[in-house]
Amino acid sequence: MVRSLGKFVVLLVLLGLFLKFAPAIPISSVVTQKQDQFTVSGEGKVTVVPDMAVIDVGITANRPTVKAAQGQANSVINGVSEAVKKLGVDTKDIKSTNYSIYPQYDYSAGSAGRITGYQVSVNLNLKVRNIDLANQVVDAATGSGANTVGGIQLTVNDDREKELLQEARELAVKEAKAKAASLAKAAGISLGRIINIQEAGSTPGPIPMLERAAMSLGGGGDTKIEAGSTDITSSVTLTYETR
- Over residues 100-151, the pLDDT tens digits come to 999 998 887 666 778 899 999 999 999 999 999 999 999 999 999 999 998 8
Residue 232 and residue 165 in contact, taking contact as beta carbons nearer than 8 Å: yes
Q: What does the pLDDT read at residue 25?
A: 45
Q: Phi and psi at residue 8, in whole multiples of 5°?
A: -65, -40
pTM recorded for the entire structure:
0.64
Domain boundaries, the chain: 35-51+157-243, 52-155
CA dist 45 and 192 (Å) reads 27
The domain covering 52-155 belongs, at the CATH homologous superfamily level, to Protein of unknown function (DUF541), domain 2 (3.30.70.2970)
Query: What is the CATH architecture of 35-51+157-243?
Result: 2-Layer Sandwich (3.30)
pLDDT at 243 over 80: yes
Q: Is 9 helix (H, G, I), strand (E, B) or coil?
A: helix
Instruction: Give tens-digit pLDDT for 116-126.
Output: 999 999 999 99
Length of the chain, in residues: 243
CA dist 63 and 146 (Å) reads 16
CA dist 84 and 76 (Å) reads 12
